[in-house]
A and B are shown apart, each in its own frame.
Chain A
Amino acid sequence: MKIFSNDPDSFKTVYGQSFPIIVRVAYHITLDIEVAEDICQEAFIRFYNRSISFPSEDQARYWLIRVTKNLAFNYYKRRKREKNALEKYSHENTQHSTNGEEDVMRSETEKIIHNALDKLPPKLRSVLVLKEYGNLSYREIGRILHITENNVKVRVHRARIILETLLKEEEIHVL
């Protein structure tokens, strides 16, 4: 079914299908639910204003995931630069942006996984986030990131190896 991005019915359908995935992608890259919401909003506004047609709902979904991923990484990189500049200036050890309240709310596993994800290079992190939180197949991830299925397989594996090492450092043994 052809999808017109600014058609109200199509928009609603695509929103319902894509939101659960893109909010997870945005959240697990930015690690901030409010920022993730802002990014999702921006992605859907861009989708609507673009006034383009997609050959299928899947293609529209892939487009949204790609835009969300890029927006989230742009935010992440900007924030990292700001954090580095602040650390350099204040000479304070602000390794993570957590405060006491957040620590209480967030489970221990979530915190550890976030810390580990935060250390992954963007290329590996994006495939892992799309795989683990987006529940997308290798083929779908390949279409979103414009890489081959085999490349996705290799990147997912590499990300897992690094993640395993990072989790071991946090004394979480997956084996």
Chain B
Amino acid sequence: MCYDENVLSAYSDGELDIRLLDEITAHLEICGRCRSIAAKYRKLGELFSVEDNVRKEAFLSSEHTVWNRVQTRIRRERKGTAIPLWRRRLTVPVPVAAGVLLTVCVLCAVLIFSPETFLPDDTSALIAQQIEMDKQSVDLSTDKTLPELEKLVQFLSEQGAAIEVRIELPGSSHFEVIGEPQLIKASDYRKDAAQ
């Protein structure tokens, strides 16, 4: 059985598996047709190698020429296109990026939830002063009797401008009026007037 020219072409290139290669080698010994086809491809390959040898020296000298030209151009391009720092590409491994992100998140959380730790000394002192002043506030709502107005004004002036003053009216409509000024809820006043 003769082999296809396609297979014989691959045979001349040594591109067949060892079993088929042996089979064809054995076949070529007995088949003149296949032998001549295989010889044709071998001769064609030799023509190429003869032609290549003509240029062998030229290719060798090209190797050095092109190397020098490539190196020169790389150096020139490196000088000419120095990338600014802010445009340079940075490669960071994913675990490192994740670690940095986590650290930033933790720091932000600490900063948000405990500002005292990170605030400057004078800010901390101001906050401490404010807290101290809050402690000194007087809850008048528990007092059965309202202090006299002069005393109240004196008390407020002693505390300074930062103090918060809240005057609340009684919640119920039945309340006892003691002394002056008389603070009456508008709704209760209207109710009493109607009666």
B-binding residues in A (CB < 8 A): 15, 19-20, 23-24, 27, 33, 36-37, 40-41, 44-45, 48-49, 106-107, 109-110, 113, 131-133, 137-138, 153-154, 156-157, 160-161, 163-164, 167, 172, 174-175
Contacts and interface: CB of A to CB of B under 8 A. Distances in A.
Contact of B48 (A15, A19, A133, A175): A133
A109 B15 CA distance: 27
User: Which 7 residue pairs spanning A and B have beta carbons closest together?
Assistant: A132-B48, A157-B9, A175-B40, A174-B43, A110-B51, A157-B6, A44-B70
A160 B9 contact: yes
B70 A109 contact: no
B44 to A, nearest CB: 5
Interface string B132-165: 0000000000000000000000000000000000
A19 B5 contact: no
Interface residues of chain B: helix, strand, loop or mixed (majority): helix
Interface residues of B, number: 33
Contacts, number: 92
Interface stretch (B55-63, B95-103, B176-184, B186-194): B55-63
B116 interface: no
A109 B69 contact: no
Contacts of A44: 66, 70
7 contacts: A49-B77, A107-B54, A132-B45, A153-B10, A160-B41, A164-B44, A175-B36
